[in-house]
Structure 1
Amino acid sequence: MLSKTQRKTPTVIHKQYKISRIRSFYMRKIKYTQSNFHERLSQIIQEFPKLDNIHPFYADLMNILYDKDHYKLGLGQLNQARHLIDNVAKDYLRLMKYADSLYRCKQLKKAALGRMATIMKRQGSNLEYLEQVRQHLSRLPSIDPFTRTLIICGFPNVGKSSFLNKITRADVDVQPYAFTTKSLYVGHTDYKYLRWQVIDTPGILDHSLEDRNIIEMQAVTALAHLRAAVLYFIDISEQCGHSISEQIGLFKSIRPLFNNKPLLVVATKTDIVGLDELAPEKKELLTVFDDLETPLLSMSMLTDEGVMDVKQTACETLLAFRVESKLRAKKVDNVLNRLRVAMPAKRDNKARPPCIPEAALQKIADRERGVKRKLERHIEEELGDDYVLDLKKNYDLPDDYKYDVIPEFMEGVNIADYIDPDIFKKLDELEKEESNREEAGYYAVPKIEYDQTMLEIKELAKQIRDKKSIMRQDALLVKQSTKPRLGRQALSKNREGVEARNSRSRGRSESATDAPSGTKRQRLDSEGNALSVGRGQSGSKSRARSDSRVTPRDQSGLRDPQVLMKVKKIAHKAIAKKVGKWGLKGEGDRFIGTKKPKHLFSGKRGIGKTDRR
């Protein structure tokens, strides 16, 4: 917290600062530290579960695992520390208002932060305890107290975890000694398209409630608070290390926990000793469950015998119990008032058995006999190169119609099944009616004969349409040209310059012809200046060389470099306008409007950073 305060608040005081600014500088540090401590402690206190606001099962489980008083005391001391830090900050901010020097302000800040740190150091043991609680809470299984639940209980090493592994996808450690399972484990299974929660509890020993340890008390808590079907496991082979009489004694001692819950007793390890193979005196002990009207089931984990029967019986029992309890509740009357159940009465005594197609019955019979359906792949393997794919053999049609070109199929149905039987008769009537209409002249179109004037008008209209099309294409070509255009003023100046140059060259040529024959004739360049023709150089050769000089494309038709610059500026503005302020022509555009913006490259450097203003 102290380093965060140093990082997130200003750190330098300059000599020109007033005392009010120095006070606010140090007050800001005290406030920042106090608000950080307050927020972090509030987050810890709020995010830990409050035992009074959660389900009684979780409240009792936390009481067993972490001691409710110790837990509440730890959170209460953190709450007290938060109040003390708030009061320290308030007191020192009040004193800071009267500090008259930099030294006093600094010492008050130091004292305030030191007292806050001392308060938090005293909470070290509380925070360690709460961190252990947090880590352990995150490892607890997520148990929904309101969903359909099966709870497995009994002595240690009677096969509870093995049963959970069999019917769910849980992977609980199974070992041949007692108390392998030391906490609650949860698995999920499906039955009748519903999700069921199965809880494996640690083993319980037969002694008083005060003598039970934390591991056993977790199972007792689950049995006491969760509305679920209870499966009490008894090892009739006595390999768990406890006799049948001891296991029945435990059942009787925890019997009050099973009140108002569906209960099943399951005899395990029947692959070693079956119920029929038990000694008479041990069979006599098991009759206690008949007196309590509790069903006794048997199963073996090794051979999987009876495992699914136990699961189905437990689920059915719990479903019936939940439905019955809902019917006894008051809410059901409001629901039933909105429902109307129709009870149809028989209209006659005629038997109406279900109509099952022969193909479906054949499939069921083949499945019962163990006959596997021959797939197209198997037929292809048998025939080899002689195999031909026949898509029509499974059509639901008589064999006479299966391979006809007509009828065709559309959307899985045979069109021929939906043809009207009188269609040909109706077609003859329709054709006869059409022929009568044709004879009567119903469809006759009157012929229009154009005179010479109309023909000329049509020809003229065709020529106008062709001309319009050509003009439209020409306009489109002109519009698509990307050559930069000069303004009207620049064009007029350019035109004047070209005309003047032409007239000048024309006048010189005339004067050259009028010159006396004795004077030497001089050649003129494009600007009207005289070109010297050296000895040995013929006029035709220099003329050919001057004609071969090619004007660059972007300078054609321009008078001088000033007009060229003006054209380039106009082109640049057009591009900037088209691109927009921040837009780009494409991925390769590197256009920078302003090379050195003034606000980044001018002015004095002040106190702050130099990379931005």
Structure 2
Amino acid sequence: MVQYNFKKITVVPNGKDFIDIILSRTQRQTPTVVHKGYAISRLRQFYMRKVKYTQQNYHEKLSAIIDEFPRLDDIHPFYGDLLHVLYNKDHYKLALGQINTARNLISKISKDYVRLLKYGDSLYRCKALKVAALGRMCTVIKRISPSLAYLEQIRQHMARLPSIDPNTRTILICGYPNVGKSSFINKITRADVDVQPYAFTTKSLFIGHTDYKYLRYQVIDTPGILDRPFEDRNIIEMCSITALAHLRAAVLFFLDISGSCGYSISQQAALFHSIKSLFMNKPLIIVCNKTDLQPLDGISEEERKLVMDMKAEAMKTLLGQGGEATNDEGVLLTMSTLTEEGVIAVKNAACERLLDQRVEVKMKSKKMNDCLNRFHVAVPKPRDQKERPPCIPAAVLEAKAKEAAEKKNRKTERDLENENGGAGVYSASLKKHYILANDEWKEDIMPEILDGHNVYDFFDPDIWQRLEELENEEGLRQAEEADNDFEIDGEELTPEQQEALTEIRKKKSLLIQQHRIKKSTAESRPMVPRKFDKDKQFTSERMGRQLSKMGLDPSLAMERARSRSISRKGRKRERSHDRRDADGDVMDMDVDTPNKKQRIRSLSRSRSLSRPPGEVVPGEGFKDSAQKIKAIKIAKKSVKKRNKDARRGEADRVIPNLKPKHLFSGKRSIGKTQRR
């Protein structure tokens, strides 16, 4: 079942917003920093990427607009004609065609400028080509701004259209203005259509839903129609004509027999005959409304004749559908929306006629023949003349009667509550449905704590047998422990042995504590802590003894260790030694170096110093620091004007200063008003 929901169409931005969206996205999603030191291939790729990305964004947005708006040739004819009536399909197609043309033009511009960028020979040339490409794309969008604005207005109006399903069960209400159509739809559905005592209150299609025989029906209220030539009808009337022409629905033609609507019965009959071609092959019911003001029996003979002629036309429509000529009681109905007399009868008659007509159409289709061939209804043939009426055994009847009596005499919880003090006093018993061997046990109080123990922890049918097994197992385990246990007691040892045992236990606890301390600091402790080796555990003599035990000659290793320690001490002493003069002041330790440059280099080895900007580095080509500082100043002065004039950078969108400060700030003096 196709649902047309035009509320999901995305918003169409206007031309200026469209350009801002695309260029901002290009600036955010592509690199914006480029240097003139880049290779020319890298510069070309940089600007080609910007042009391609902008074209892709334009293509996606414009394609979304073209795809989301419905194509009048592809949707249901009802919606196609309705959109043509409301918006003029020529203008609609022209606007979408301009969007499609703009999309193709932008793709062509991108293709051309990417081809030119492949041969760009400088940063300036590549940037100029990029600016030209983006500018031409934005110009194309500016030219279609009226089409974008038109499509946005159409989108807003389409979002307010009701969601009508052209293929479901539909009841269509039509007639002259102010005959009671909106009042009827408000009575049978939950729609809230405005009702006023003047013509053309309803200016568009309104939809409501009602239920009949567990099926959902949509009811459509159409604007009033006047009896005039087709070309003279306005947009409001054409909405009703479109619905009548394309929707397969049960039509209710409302007739105001009281004349309070401002139109006589003859005028309404003339309208009926002028549009009766739209009622062909549809269930039609003529509804005489406002019978509270004028009953049908009280109208004149001429008006009654006109109503009967309309009924005869409706009967012809029924015969054209294959209905019976005798079934004419549902063709002409009377009701009053003020007193609600006959409203439900009209609704039921319309739903029933529509249901019958849809069933007949389905039965005549080829698909139904294929389905009916698969069914077979078996009818038993009588084997004799004996009648066999349905028989229910007496036992079943007795059981059913007994169950009904019990159900009648059974007291509910509400009855028990009323008998025992009402709500807040009576508390329902949760134990009366317990399944126990004796019903008298249901209300027994079960203790939770017995002899200081929780009863539920000890509830077990075999608890005494299990307790006996556990006691036997515990006795056997204690006997085994008594035979195999070997414990050194103080009573069995002599005083010397007790002292030795005490020392052993102290030593053992001390080793355990040392191990725990080492284990806790194992991650942060160095492998060989020579600096904190207070006990002299890591010495060269100890290393020599260990190597000797292993059968190796330790002399070379010990000599190497001694030479390393001596050289380390010498370097340390040399680094920390300062020369002092007779007064005790520290003297320069590098006085004996040949020149100043070497002294500076030796100082730079000892600590890192930040070089001042005016310092001359060998190889730069400057005579001294003054010449270098002067060159830096000249370079800054040369790029100052360029930097001042080119603050735009590599951005894809330039927002100029629309309010310069010298024009919009300060106090205005005499004679300065005209320039603003």
- Answer yes or no: is 1:89 the counterpart of 2:125: no
- Answer yes or no: is 1:341 the counterpart of 2:377: yes
Residue 113 of structure 1, aligned match among 109, 134, 148? 134
Deviations 1:590-611 (A, max 9, x none): xxxxxxxxxxxxxxxxxxxxxx
- Report the secondary structure of 1:256's partner residue: helix
Alpha-carbon separation, structure 2, partners of 1:277 and 1:97:
91
- Answer yes or no: is 1:78 the counterpart of 2:114: no
Q: Any conservation in 1 of the 2:269–2:310 contact (CA below 8 Å)?
A: no
Q: Where does residue 52 of structure 1 map in the other structure?
A: 73
Taking structure 1 as reference, are residues 343 and 463 closer, same or farther at Cα in structure 2, changes over 3 Å only? closer
Question: Which structure 2 residues correspond to residues 559-598 of structure 1 after superposition, within 5 A?
Answer: 564-569=517-522
Alpha-carbon separation, structure 1, partners of 2:137 and 2:30:
18
Aligned residues: 420
Deviations 1:575-596 (A, max 9, x none): xxxxxxxxxxxxxxxxxxxxxx
User: Following TM superposition, by how much is the alpha carbon of 1:466 offset from its aligned partner in structure 2, in angstroms?
Assistant: 2.5
Q: Where does residue 170 of structure 2 map in the other structure?
A: 149
- Answer yes or no: is 1:10 the counterpart of 2:35: no
User: Following TM superposition, by how much is the alpha carbon of 1:571 offset from its aligned partner in structure 2, in angstroms?
Assistant: 12
Using the TM superposition, name which of 281-290 and 321-330 deviates more: 281-290
Higher RCO (CA 8 Å, separation ≥ 6 residues):
2
Q: Which amino acid in structure 1 is aligned with residue 52 of structure 2?
A: K
- Answer yes or no: is 1:331 the counterpart of 2:363: no
Q: Any conservation in 2 of the 1:558–1:564 contact (CA below 8 Å)?
A: no
Alpha-carbon separation, structure 2, partners of 1:386 and 1:323:
56
Deviations 1:258-282 (A, max 9, x none): 0011110000000111111222222
Q: Where does residue 263 of structure 2 map in the other structure?
A: 242
- Report the secondary structure of 2:218's partner residue: strand
Question: Which structure 2 residues correspond to residues 154-193 of structure 1 after superposition, within 5 A?
Answer: 154-193=175-214
- Report the secondary structure of 2:71's partner residue: coil
Q: Any conservation in 2 of the 1:289–1:296 contact (CA below 8 Å)?
A: no
- Answer yes or no: is 1:65 the counterpart of 2:86: yes
Deviations 1:241-269 (A, max 9, x none): 00000000000000000001111000000
Alpha-carbon separation, structure 1, partners of 2:45 and 2:162:
51
Alpha-carbon separation, structure 2, partners of 1:272 and 1:406:
77
User: Following TM superposition, by how much is the alpha carbon of 1:232 offset from its aligned partner in structure 2, in angstroms?
Assistant: 0.3
Q: Where does residue 126 of structure 1 map in the other structure?
A: 147
- Answer yes or no: is 1:23 the counterpart of 2:34: no
Q: Any conservation in 2 of the 1:185–1:200 contact (CA below 8 Å)?
A: yes
Taking structure 1 as reference, are residues 105 and 252 closer, same or farther at Cα in structure 2, changes over 3 Å only? same
- Answer yes or no: is 1:557 the counterpart of 2:593: no
Taking structure 1 as reference, are residues 342 and 311 closer, same or farther at Cα in structure 2, changes over 3 Å only? farther
Taking structure 1 as reference, are residues 559 and 281 closer, same or farther at Cα in structure 2, changes over 3 Å only? closer
Alpha-carbon separation, structure 2, partners of 1:90 and 1:309:
69
Residue 101 of structure 1, aligned match among 109, 112, 122? 122
User: Following TM superposition, by how much is the alpha carbon of 1:329 offset from its aligned partner in structure 2, in angstroms?
Assistant: 1.5
Q: Where does residue 309 of structure 1 map in the other structure?
A: 345
Question: Which structure 2 residues correspond to residues 227-306 of structure 1 after superposition, within 5 A?
Answer: 227-294=248-315, 295-306=331-342
- Report the secondary structure of 1:297's partner residue: strand
Alpha-carbon separation, structure 1, partners of 2:86 and 2:142:
26
Residue 218 of structure 1, aligned match among 236, 239, 259? 239
Taking structure 1 as reference, are residues 248 and 343 closer, same or farther at Cα in structure 2, changes over 3 Å only? farther
Q: Any conservation in 1 of the 2:285–2:314 contact (CA below 8 Å)?
A: no
Using the TM superposition, name which of 288-297 and 173-182 deviates more: 288-297
Alpha-carbon separation, structure 1, partners of 2:31 and 2:151:
34
Using the TM superposition, name which of 376-385 and 83-92 deviates more: 376-385
Deviations 1:541-565 (A, max 9, x none): xxxxxxxxxxxxxx96347868723
Alpha-carbon separation, structure 1, partners of 2:231 and 2:481:
108
Q: Where does residue 454 of structure 1 map in the other structure?
A: none
Q: Where does residue 319 of structure 1 map in the other structure?
A: 355
Residue 219 of structure 2, aligned match among 195, 198, 206? 198
User: Following TM superposition, by how much is the alpha carbon of 1:283 offset from its aligned partner in structure 2, in angstroms?
Assistant: 1.5
User: Following TM superposition, by how much is the alpha carbon of 1:131 offset from its aligned partner in structure 2, in angstroms?
Assistant: 0.7
Alpha-carbon separation, structure 2, partners of 1:81 and 1:468:
102
- Answer yes or no: is 1:139 the counterpart of 2:182: no
Q: Which amino acid in structure 2 is aligned with residue 327 of structure 1?
A: M
- Report the secondary structure of 2:510's partner residue: coil
User: Following TM superposition, by how much is the alpha carbon of 1:330 offset from its aligned partner in structure 2, in angstroms?
Assistant: 1.5
Alpha-carbon separation, structure 2, partners of 1:129 and 1:97:
39
- Report the secondary structure of 1:87's partner residue: helix
Q: Where does residue 402 of structure 1 map in the other structure?
A: none
Q: Any conservation in 1 of the 2:36–2:123 contact (CA below 8 Å)?
A: no
User: Following TM superposition, by how much is the alpha carbon of 1:4 offset from its aligned partner in structure 2, in angstroms?
Assistant: 1.5
Q: Where does residue 558 of structure 2 map in the other structure?
A: none
Alpha-carbon separation, structure 1, partners of 2:259 and 2:79:
34
Alpha-carbon separation, structure 1, partners of 2:168 and 2:363:
17
User: Following TM superposition, by how much is the alpha carbon of 1:290 offset from its aligned partner in structure 2, in angstroms?
Assistant: 3.7
User: Following TM superposition, by how much is the alpha carbon of 1:350 offset from its aligned partner in structure 2, in angstroms?
Assistant: 4.8
Residue 477 of structure 2, aligned match among 460, 463, 466? 466
Percent of aligned pairs with the same amino acid? 57
User: Following TM superposition, by how much is the alpha carbon of 1:24 offset from its aligned partner in structure 2, in angstroms?
Assistant: 1.0
- Report the secondary structure of 2:522's partner residue: helix
Taking structure 1 as reference, are residues 406 and 36 closer, same or farther at Cα in structure 2, changes over 3 Å only? closer
Alpha-carbon separation, structure 1, partners of 2:524 and 2:285:
93
Taking structure 1 as reference, are residues 303 and 377 closer, same or farther at Cα in structure 2, changes over 3 Å only? farther
Q: Which amino acid in structure 1 is aligned with residue 335 of structure 2?
A: M
Q: Which amino acid in structure 2 is aligned with residue 242 of structure 1?
A: Y
Q: Which amino acid in structure 2 is aligned with residue 226 of structure 1?
A: L
Using the TM superposition, name which of 24-33 and 5-14 deviates more: 5-14
Alpha-carbon separation, structure 2, partners of 1:62 and 1:469:
101
User: Following TM superposition, by how much is the alpha carbon of 1:9 offset from its aligned partner in structure 2, in angstroms?
Assistant: 1.1
Q: Where does residue 586 of structure 2 map in the other structure?
A: none
Q: Which amino acid in structure 2 is aligned with residue 85 of structure 1?
A: I
User: Following TM superposition, by how much is the alpha carbon of 1:98 offset from its aligned partner in structure 2, in angstroms?
Assistant: 1.6
Question: Which structure 2 residues correspond to residues 508-587 of structure 1 after superposition, within 5 A?
Answer: 557-558=510-511, 564-569=517-522
User: Following TM superposition, by how much is the alpha carbon of 1:56 offset from its aligned partner in structure 2, in angstroms?
Assistant: 0.7
User: Following TM superposition, by how much is the alpha carbon of 1:375 offset from its aligned partner in structure 2, in angstroms?
Assistant: 11
Alpha-carbon separation, structure 2, partners of 1:171 and 1:80:
44
Q: Which structure 1 segments of 5+ residues have no match?
A: 362-373, 392-404, 409-457, 475-501, 507-525, 528-554, 573-613
Q: Any conservation in 2 of the 1:267–1:297 contact (CA below 8 Å)?
A: yes
Q: Which amino acid in structure 1 is aligned with residue 517 of structure 2?
A: L
Question: Which structure 2 residues correspond to residues 359-374 of structure 1 after superposition, within 5 A?
Answer: none
User: Following TM superposition, by how much is the alpha carbon of 1:6 offset from its aligned partner in structure 2, in angstroms?
Assistant: 1.3
Alpha-carbon separation, structure 2, partners of 1:3 and 1:112:
16
Alpha-carbon separation, structure 1, partners of 2:88 and 2:481:
97
- Report the secondary structure of 1:54's partner residue: coil
Q: Any conservation in 2 of the 1:236–1:270 contact (CA below 8 Å)?
A: yes
Taking structure 1 as reference, are residues 351 and 122 closer, same or farther at Cα in structure 2, changes over 3 Å only? same
Alpha-carbon separation, structure 2, partners of 1:463 and 1:145:
86
Q: Any conservation in 1 of the 2:335–2:341 contact (CA below 8 Å)?
A: yes
Taking structure 1 as reference, are residues 379 and 100 closer, same or farther at Cα in structure 2, changes over 3 Å only? closer
TM-score between the two structures when normalised by the length of structure 1 = 0.62
- Report the secondary structure of 1:292's partner residue: helix
User: Following TM superposition, by how much is the alpha carbon of 1:101 offset from its aligned partner in structure 2, in angstroms?
Assistant: 1.1
Taking structure 1 as reference, are residues 101 and 237 closer, same or farther at Cα in structure 2, changes over 3 Å only? same
